[in-house]
Amino acid sequence: MNDFLGDSTLDHLRQIVHDDIPNNSRYCIRESIGQGGMGTVYLADDIALRRPVAMKVLRDGAADADAIDRMLREAHVVARLEHPGIVPVHDVGCLPDGRVYYIMKLVKGRRLDEYADASASLRERLRLFERICETVAFAHAHGVIHRDLKPQNVMVGQFGEVLVLDWGLAKVVCEATHGAPLDGTALPLMCSAKECLTETVAPQTAHGTVLGTPAYMSPEQARGEVARVDERSDVFALGGILYFLLTGQAPFAAVRMGDGADEPAIVPPRQRNRAVPRRLQSICLKSLFTDSEQRYVSAAEFASDVARFQNGQAVIAHREGLPERIARWVWWYRAPILIIAAYLLMRGLLMLWQRR
């Protein structure tokens, strides 16, 4: 084809095919930077404020009432959750062709799964994980359950900032069961009982529609028990992220269980990576219990236990024996212990030399 069309013509045709978004008076589309189940994220220029932004646009094939409702619900949820770990939403509207869009801050960085493949140390990974938990805990405190936490939905920015993305499956707990809403106003749109599917759905069950990513979703999500999905369901998914950071693998296969099937067993992290400390393995496995009552009660409690591990303290997920307690104490105070041991050794050698 290059014999008949020049390279510049081919590039122009590719842009027409892939970036078929009409511009409006406020935003000028530059290029596609991401794909989702029902929308595409574009790099755009905000002409009025002269800055680059990210524009999430509903695709043509997804422009039905359910998809529009979910897109608007996602924009409203993210806009109300003002936190450093959540990308702020600046605007929402419709393109000239009728497609819904919303404008976000443009974030540059790497997805967590890509970052974890690099040379980040265990301590650095755990610090990032604590910040993910803090962001999710903030959302929980405002009555929002993410329901699709996974490494691919976490971005690590150029300066170490951690951002939890893709709130399209978020479940908002109505004020009747979770206190006041985000800003003291009613949430008629976000409290809709309507549930929608994404590209990561698992099969339907008799209990309801299964939402989330099978490799990371909690057992109650996998069974379609929508009413039982709460903060501890996100704790399970956070445990899956921690499992990935420790082993490089998801806790489950991509395809997982149907109605009435037994929950697959999770391979302990140390069987996949012997360098994982036992106490850290216990923390990870506590978050991944099939029974939600045995998990951490909140993302904040989960983060606190990881912080205790980082600080050399006892963790609630692991029952230590006396040898383990002594070993932990020695390891944490190894620097002063080595200094004292070196001093005693030198003192002993000096005494022997004086006697001779």
pTM: 0.77
Single out the residue in 86, 105, 124 at which a domain terminates. Answer: 105
| 67 and 176 part of one domain | no
Whether 3 is covered by a domain: the verdict is no
Widest Cα–Cα separation across the chain: 97
pLDDT, tens digit, 9 for 90 and up, residues 225-259: 888 999 999 999 999 999 999 999 999 876 555 54
Mean pLDDT of 88-112: 89
Paired strand residues for 155: 111, 163
Distance CA 299, CA 311 (A): 18
In the predicted model, is pLDDT for residue 99 greater than 60?
yes
Whether 342 is covered by a domain: the verdict is yes
Domain holding 127, by residue range, is 109-319
In the predicted model, is pLDDT for residue 321 greater than 60?
yes
Residue 208's pLDDT is 52
Average pLDDT, the chain: 80
pLDDT, tens digit, 9 for 90 and up, residues 61-75: 556 778 888 888 889
| 272 and 330 part of one domain | no
Mean pLDDT of 135-145: 96
| 81 and 145 part of one domain | no
Q: Give the count of alpha carbons within 13 A of 220, CB side only.
A: 20
Residue 329's pLDDT is 65
| 56 and 28 part of one domain | yes
DSSP labels, 280-334: HHHHHHHHT-SSGGGS-SSHHHHHHHHHHHHTT---TT----HHHHHHHHHHHTH
Mean pLDDT of 348-352: 83
Dihedral (Cα; 202, 205, 207, 213), 10-degree rounding: -10
Cβ contact 190:141 at 8 Å: no
- Please, which residues have CB within 8 angstroms of residue 223's CB and are 6 or more apart in sequence? 205, 207, 210, 257, 259
Mean pLDDT of 71-93: 92
Confidence bin at 152 (pLDDT 50/70/90): very high
Confidence bin at 181 (pLDDT 50/70/90): very low
| 195 and 331 part of one domain | no
Mean pLDDT of 162-166: 93
Distance of CA 335 to the CA centre of its chain: 36
Residue 67's pLDDT is 81
Residue 330's pLDDT is 65
Distance CA 219, CA 208 (A): 14
Residue 157's pLDDT is 87
Burial class of residue 196, CB neighbours in 10 A (0-12, 13-18, 19+): buried
| 186 and 235 part of one domain | yes
Residue 107's pLDDT is 87
Burial class of residue 201, CB neighbours in 10 A (0-12, 13-18, 19+): middle
In the predicted model, is pLDDT for residue 210 greater than 90?
no
CA distance to 75, 101, 180, 225, 301, per residue, from 266 (Å): 35, 39, 38, 21, 22
Give all strands (DSSP E) within the chain, no chain letters.
27-35, 39-46, 51-58, 89-94, 100-105, 109-111, 144-145, 154-157, 162-164, 171-172
Cβ contact 21:94 at 8 Å: no
Residues annotated as catalytic (active site), given as ranges: 148
CA angle 240/141/302 to nearest 5° reads 35
Mean pLDDT of 99-104: 91
Distance CA 270, CA 277 (A): 8
Whether 8 is covered by a domain: the verdict is no
Whether 6 is covered by a domain: the verdict is no
Identity of the amino acid at 3: D
Quickly count: other Cβ atoms within 10 Å of residue 158's Cβ: 9
Poorest-confidence range of 17-31, 44-58, 153-167, 284-298? 17-31
Pairing, β 51-58 against β 100-105: antiparallel
Residue 3's pLDDT is 52
Percent with pLDDT over 90 in the chain: 44
Whether 48 is covered by a domain: the verdict is yes
Whether 87 is covered by a domain: the verdict is yes
Residue 202's pLDDT is 40
Residue 285's pLDDT is 96
Residue 339's pLDDT is 86
Distance CA 158, CA 91 (A): 24
What domain count does the chain have? 3
Single out the residue in 48, 81, 105 at which a domain terminates. Answer: 105
Cβ contact 259:223 at 8 Å: yes
| 296 and 350 part of one domain | no
In the predicted model, is pLDDT for residue 342 greater than 90?
no
Whether 168 is covered by a domain: the verdict is yes
- CATH number, domain with residue 33: 3.30.200.20
